[in-house]
Amino acid sequence: MPSGTEVGLLAARKITRLVGARPDAVLGLATGSSPLAIYAALAAHVREGTLDTSRVSAFALDEYVGIPADHPESYASVIDREVTVPLHLDPERVQVPDGRATDLEAAGRRYEEAIRAAGGVDLQILGIGANGHVGFNEPTSSFASRTRIKTLTERTRADNARFFASPDEVPTHCLTQGLGTIMDARSLLLVAQGSQKAAAVAAAVEGPVTSMCPASILQHHPHATVMVDEAAAADLQ
């Protein structure tokens, strides 16, 4: 069973193969801790010359509402720092939902349109919340949902407090791709590391398909891959 670093290496190999076969691939990007090992491994491929990202496009899963775009923990900043710069992506080809839009509903519709105009997502990278969320589709989210504003649960705000100076600073809302949006991607790659994810991984992979565990909808995707380390696999049968 792989370690967290090996999960990143394996996932990066899969993405590198995809981009090798389809140089203008469209990637879906998750933020948070889970995909960082993937992005580090992809950056190494770019440095070594084994991955050419010059024609790759990317769409982030979600963005906080209510913090400035240049806040170091806005997902626009995180994607720029962890992905666009180290992977040498063309910033013009990288999009993040506009969490600062005055009309957030319209911003959600525009994001859906931009994904469609790019030809859809080839491979969507996903992390999973301890409560089974993917993107910020918290439990009870509709399986048909599209990019829209969501309220973060107290659990998610507490889990993400580590990125902020104080728990009060964690935004209460976000603009997130919906479960329907995520399921439209041609392939999904969910990664999870650590024992705090074990129950959510088991519920998503082996439990009933239920909106109480949004990630369980991945069971209905024809090309979904789940890569976990030993600790995150602990509750699997």
Residue ranges binding ligand F6R (CB under 6 A)? 30-34, 61-62, 127-129, 133-136
Residue 140, classified by CB atoms within 10 Å of its CB into exposed (0-12), middle (13-18) or buried (19+), is: exposed
Which of 14/52 has CB closer to ligand F6R? 14
Smallest distance from ligand F6R to CB 194, Å: 8
Closest approach, Cβ 48 to ligand F6R, in A, equals 26
SS3 187: strand
- Give least dist CB 29 to ligand F6R, A: 8
The span from the CA of 47 to the CA of 18, in Å, is 18
CB 127 within 8 A of CB 30: yes
Angle, helix 36-48 to helix 4-21, in steps of 10 degrees:
50
Cα distances from 179 to residues 22, 82, 89, 137, in angstroms, run: 25, 24, 26, 7
Closer CB to ligand F6R, residue 52 or residue 235?
235
Pick the closer one to ligand F6R by CB: 104 or 201: 201
Q: Which residues are marked as active site?
A: 62, 131, 133, 138
